[in-house]
Amino acid sequence: MIDIGFMDAKREEKIKLVSFLGAVSLFLSAIDYMIPRPMPFVRLGLANLSILLAIKLLEPRYVFLVVLLKVLGQGLIQGSMFSYVFLFSLTGSFASGFVMIFLYRMVERWITLVGIGLMGALTSNIVQVVLARFIVFGKSAWYILPPFLIMGSISGFLLGGVAEVFWRRSKWVKYVKTRL
């Protein structure tokens, strides 16, 4: 039998929440993948909704677990698990995770999920273009940076808005907060 005696109730709740948010991001990745896109790399980034909620609800190490689950789920759904695209996704997601957590911890009282989501999207896009510059496409990768940033900002802003509204109104969020 697995000894879970060392796990106190709160820790267990947090781990449950991490796995739930991971599952949500897997589901959202599938939805995201269904939506037709103008360019191959452009994504709405719906799966990041669970990361935004995780940032508000959990400590950084749990947030990174959610990020890892999101990346794995996305790789699984999009079939990019064993290609260089997966490396891009992994690096971009973790970099934006760092920035978003940092930002949230620094100016928690003066920022909403809108700003956090926007910065996260920007970070992930910049990191991925920089990787593309040095790994695959060479100097011409820079040409894709401005459109990437524009699309990323718009989707990050909107997703942040959705997350913020959800955060304020959801009964589920209120319920989860009482249990953590």
Partner 1 sequence: MKKKEPSIHILHSIVGKLKFFDYVTVVFAVLLVVVSSLYVYGSNRGVLYVHIKSFSREWILPLDGGERIIHVEGPLGVTEVEIDKSTVRIVKSPCKNKICVRSGAISRPGQWVACLPNRVIVSIEGRGPKEDYVDAVNF
When asked if residue 150 is in the footprint of partner 1 (CB under 8 A), the reply is yes
When asked if residue 146 is in the footprint of partner 1 (CB under 8 A), the reply is yes
Rounded Cα distance, 79 and 64, in Å: 22
When asked if residue 119 is in the footprint of partner 1 (CB under 8 A), the reply is yes
Task: Using CB under 8 A, pick the residue from 42, 76, 122, 130 that binds partner 1.
Answer: 122
Which tokens hold the place of 68? 């890892």
Q: Is the dihedral of CA 111, 113, 114, 117 positive or negative?
A: positive
Min CB(78)–partner 1 separation in Å: 11
For residue 34, how many other CB atoms are within 10 A of its CB? 8
Task: Using CB under 8 A, pick the residue from 65, 114, 127, 176 that binds partner 1.
Answer: 114
When asked if residue 60 is in the footprint of partner 1 (CB under 8 A), the reply is no
For residue 117, how many other CB atoms are within 10 A of its CB? 29
Per the document, the length of the chain is 180
Q: How far is CA 61 from the centre of its chain?
A: 14
- Matching residue, tokens 């994504």: 43
Give whichever of 10 and 168 is closer to partner 1, judged by the CB atom: 168
Listed residue (95, 102, 152) closest to 127, CA to CA? 95
Min CB(22)–partner 1 separation in Å: 26
Of 2-10, 70-78, 87-95, 142-150, which segment contacts partner 1 by CB under 8 A?
A: 142-150
Of 54-62, 89-97, 104-112, 172-180, which segment contacts partner 1 by CB under 8 A?
A: 104-112
When asked if residue 131 is in the footprint of partner 1 (CB under 8 A), the reply is no
Ramachandran angles phi, psi of 168, nearest 5°: -80, -30
Residues near partner 1 (CB under 8 A): 40, 103, 107, 109-112, 114-116, 118-119, 122, 137-140, 142-143, 145-146, 149-150, 153, 157, 161, 164-165, 168
